Amino acid sequence: MTGIAGLFDLRGKRALVTGARSGIGRMAAETLAAAGADITGLGSRPMPETEAAVRGLGRAFEFARVDLTDRAAIAAWLAEIPAFDILVNNAGQIRRADLLEFPQADWDDVIQINLSAAFALSQAVARGMAAEGRPGRIINIASLLSFQGGIRVASYTAAKHGILGLTRAMANELAGRDVTVNAIAPGYIATDNTQALRDDPERSAAILGRIPAGRWGAPEDLAPALLYLCAPASGYVTGSCVTVDGGWMAR
């Protein structure tokens, strides 16, 4: 039986983390690096702080400049994609507007970044794992809006419902190849995506009033769940979604 330390040892693994410049993505890159993985951070802008943190942990870091709104750019990068043992689909965007005035462009952009790009990356990474017969881990960052409807966020809600369905569909097809696919649904986390809510006194108070833990989450609150789902310890866990929400869904 593998020792406890070995159950969470990622030495020799290579992880691709999308949207790793800040927030949950940066936390993911640092958490996996601390466990021994080398990191490729994918995004449209440089991420020097993430790179410095990963290298400071003694791990290699590579920046992949890819605009996830550009399908041609994604396809070009995927044509030469290196081998990965872990994929964390974190990159996401949210647009807010009343349903009756919701712009088609905001629908298209959010679905592309949050769902279509995640599918394309997962498919490519899984192909590499299958071709080489390597075990692998794919983690999708879902949301409380994978379960609820939300207000003024039609495209984000649709995408996050989709990412949870995609997680389960991929898990069914990849389990026999020793590739697990799971999701993490963060609660209300203090990141760029929730800045507008935190800046709205009424909305912020209403949100905090429903969270049993009584506080906004921090990206670091997701680190233990992420490490578990990426590590050898979770080899028989697939198609699952872990909520890290301070009790929101239990309320």
The predicted structure's pLDDT at residue 1: 44
The mean per-residue pLDDT over the stretch 106-124 comes to 98
pLDDT per position as a tens digit, 201-238? 998 999 999 999 999 999 999 999 999 999 999 999 99
Quick one: which of 179, 43, 166 has its CA closest to 111?
166
Percent over 90 (pLDDT), the chain: 92
pLDDT surpasses 60 at 51: yes
Integer angstrom CA distances of residue 31 from 21, 47, 131, 220: 14, 16, 28, 9
The mean per-residue pLDDT over the stretch 36-56 comes to 98
pLDDT surpasses 90 at 6: no
pLDDT-derived band of residue 194, with 50, 70 and 90 as boundaries? confident
Question: From the centroid of its chain, how far is CA 143?
Answer: 10
The predicted structure's pLDDT at residue 4: 81
The predicted structure's pLDDT at residue 174: 98
Average pLDDT over the chain reads 96
CA–CA separation, 39 and 55 (whole Å): 9
The predicted structure's pLDDT at residue 2: 58
The predicted structure's pLDDT at residue 178: 97
Residue 9 β-bridge partners:
none
All structural domains of the chain, each given as residue ranges with its CATH number in brackets, are 5-242 (3.40.50.720)
Quick one: which of 116, 121, 95 has its CA closest to 42?
121
Q: Respond yes or no: is residue 156 known to be catalytic.
A: yes
Q: Yes or no: say if 42 and 14 are a contact pair by the CB < 8 Å rule.
A: no
The mean per-residue pLDDT over the stretch 185-193 comes to 91
CA–CA separation, 105 and 94 (whole Å): 12
The predicted structure's pLDDT at residue 193: 78
Exactly one of 156, 188, 228, 236 is catalytic; name it: 156
pLDDT surpasses 60 at 136: yes
CB atoms within 10 A of CB 209: 9
